[in-house]
Structure 1
Amino acid sequence: MLTIEKTHESPNWILKLTGEIDASNSVNVDSAIQELLKSGAENLLVDCTDLEYISSAGLGVFMSYLEEFQEKNIGMVIFGLKDKVFQVFHILGLDQLIRIKPDKSAALAS
């Protein structure tokens, strides 16, 4: 099960992901990001403090936006990854492509 919460703390939009992201619900994460982009979001912080699992489909959602975000100068920082979830990003080298910070204060400072 996945819960997605969107909050605005100007100038940042925070996308809080709770639970597990897998093939069955990764489209919901994609939809949430699309909604934020349509609302004009330029800074996106992804709070993964309560994210227990992410599948390759979930990783693919984040990967699919890298080029677009770079072209449109949209900032994205993922923070609060649990060790086992961070390892998935690390093994695939995504920690080299996506800004990942340990907590919200570090994400805000980046």
Structure 2
Amino acid sequence: MLNVEKYLESGSRVLVLTGEIDASNSVELDAAISEVVQEGAKNILIDCSGLEYISSAGLGVFMSYLDEFEENNVKMVIFGLKDKVFQVFHILGLDQLISIRPTKEQALEG
């Protein structure tokens, strides 16, 4: 199960992800990101401190936005990943493509 909460902080849209992201609910993550993009967000922070698991489908959602974000000057930063979730990003090399920071403070700084 995935829970997504959204709020605004220091001019950034923050998405708080809690639970697990898998093939059955990755569309919820996609819809949440799409919604803040349509609202005109240029800085998107993804709080993953409550994320216990992410499947390849969840990673695919993040990957699907990389080109669009680069073209439209949208900045996405993921922060608060638990070690086991970060390892999934790292093993696939996604930590080289997606901006990942340990804390919200560092994510807000860029």
With normalisation by structure 1, the TM-score equals 0.99
- Whole-Å separation in 2 of the counterparts to 1:107 and 1:8: 14
Q: Aligned-pair distance for 1:36?
A: 0.4
RMSD: 0.5
Q: What is the letter of the counterpart of residue 55 of structure 2?
A: S
Residue of structure 1 in register with 2:103 after alignment: 103
Residue of structure 1 in register with 2:55 after alignment: 55
Q: How many residues align structurally?
A: 110
Q: Which structure 2 segments of 5+ residues have no match?
A: none
- Whole-Å separation in 2 of the counterparts to 1:93 and 1:9: 29
Q: What is the letter of the counterpart of residue 48 of structure 1?
A: C
**1:77-96 equivalence runs, <5 A:** 77-96=77-96
Q: Aligned-pair distance for 1:31?
A: 0.3
Q: Which runs of 4+ in 1 moved over 6 A?
A: none
- Whole-Å separation in 1 of the counterparts to 2:87 and 2:76: 19
Residue of structure 1 in register with 2:19 after alignment: 19
- Whole-Å separation in 2 of the counterparts to 1:12 and 1:36: 10
- Whole-Å separation in 2 of the counterparts to 1:44 and 1:35: 11
Q: What is the letter of the counterpart of residue 99 of structure 2?
A: R
TM-superposition CA deviations, 1:68-95 (whole Å, max 9, x none): 0000000000000000000000000000
